[in-house]
């Protein structure tokens, strides 16, 4: 699967999930027939996250029942949240901030977002609104990046309750951060064009 290939040491992630939740470990049933392998359950969950595939689209490929597919997705999301939230949703370190702020000022400098001015009268209000809309666009772009990588985020929220939707969203953010961190080379010196408008 494309996403697991982008995460460094995908086997390590799979082993960590299996150690956390025995649901993913292959077991035999009452007739001593081996059940689904961990990779099958995890790849099914990833297929739903990446492609936004429904259980009907996945069941033929994965050879799994719809209930098992949904359970695999939700258990995968809960496992990712529990195992990786502290590492991949932590506050940025000074090193992270230096790297992020070197990228074309993609993050606003304000600590909070403020509601827009409903009726613009003065030049000061127009100026403020223009900059605020620019910051909002940055946030929307970040969400757009998540939607581009995780089709489940841009699809209709079907068959999910609020807790499940929150878990799915957090999982997409954590996996995205894993991929970004794995792709970034901290030893390379980044070179960006200077912004002459904001000296």
DSSP string, 121-169: -SHHHHHHHHHHHHHHHHHHHHHHHHHHH-HHHHS---S--HHHHHHHH
Please indicate, yes or no, if residue 92 is contained in any of the structural domains.
yes
**Mean pLDDT (whole number) for 112-132:** 71
Please indicate, yes or no, if residue 192 is contained in any of the structural domains.
no
Residue 108 has a CB neighbour count (10 Å cut-off) of: 15
Please indicate, yes or no, if residue 89 is contained in any of the structural domains.
yes
**Mean pLDDT (whole number) for 52-68:** 82
* pLDDT tier at 198, thresholds 50, 70, 90: very low
The pTM for the full model equals 0.69
DSSP letter (8 states) at residue 186:
T
**pLDDT value for 6:** 55
**pLDDT value for 2:** 55
Please indicate, yes or no, if residue 99 is contained in any of the structural domains.
yes
**pLDDT value for 199:** 44
**Mean pLDDT (whole number) for 136-150:** 74
Please indicate, yes or no, if residue 197 is contained in any of the structural domains.
no
- Tokens representing residue 187 in the block: 């030893």
- Tokens representing residue 47 in the block: 């297929």
DSSP letter (8 states) at residue 66:
H
- Cα atoms in the Cβ-side hemisphere of radius 13 Å centred on 51: 14
Please indicate, yes or no, if residue 198 is contained in any of the structural domains.
no
pLDDT tens profile 70-82: 999 999 999 999 9
How many separate domains does the chain show?
1
Please indicate, yes or no, if residue 78 is contained in any of the structural domains.
yes
Residues 6+ apart with CB under 8 A from 75: 21, 23, 24, 41, 45
Is the confidence at residue 116, as pLDDT, over 70? no
Please indicate, yes or no, if residue 56 is contained in any of the structural domains.
yes
* pLDDT tier at 3, thresholds 50, 70, 90: low
* pLDDT tier at 197, thresholds 50, 70, 90: very low
Domain hosting 173: range is: 2-183
């Amino acid at each position: 699967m494309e996403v697991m290939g982008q995460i460094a040491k995908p086997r390590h992630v799979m082993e960590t999930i299996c150690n956390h939740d025995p649901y993913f470990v292959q077991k035999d049933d009452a007739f001593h027939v081996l059940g689904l392998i961990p990779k099958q359950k995890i790849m099914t969950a990833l297929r739903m996250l990446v492609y936004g595939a429904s259980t009907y689209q996945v069941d033929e490929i994965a050879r799994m029942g719809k209930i098992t597919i949904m359970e695999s997705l939700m258990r995968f999301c809960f496992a990712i949240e529990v195992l990786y939230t502290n590492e991949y949703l932590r506050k940025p370190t000074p090193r992270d901030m230096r790297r992020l702020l070197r990228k074309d000022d993609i993050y606003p400098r304000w600590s909070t977002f403020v509601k827009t001015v409903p009726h613009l009268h003065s030049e000061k209000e127009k100026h403020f609104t223009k900059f605020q809309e620019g910051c909002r666009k940055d946030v929307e772009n970040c969400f757009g990046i998540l939607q581009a990588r995780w089709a489940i985020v841009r699809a209709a929220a079907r068959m999910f309750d609020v807790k499940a939707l929150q878990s799915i969203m957090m999982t997409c953010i954590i996996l995205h951060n894993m991929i970004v961190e794995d792709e970034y080379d901290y030893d390379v010196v980044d070179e960006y064009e200077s912004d002459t408008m904001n000296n």
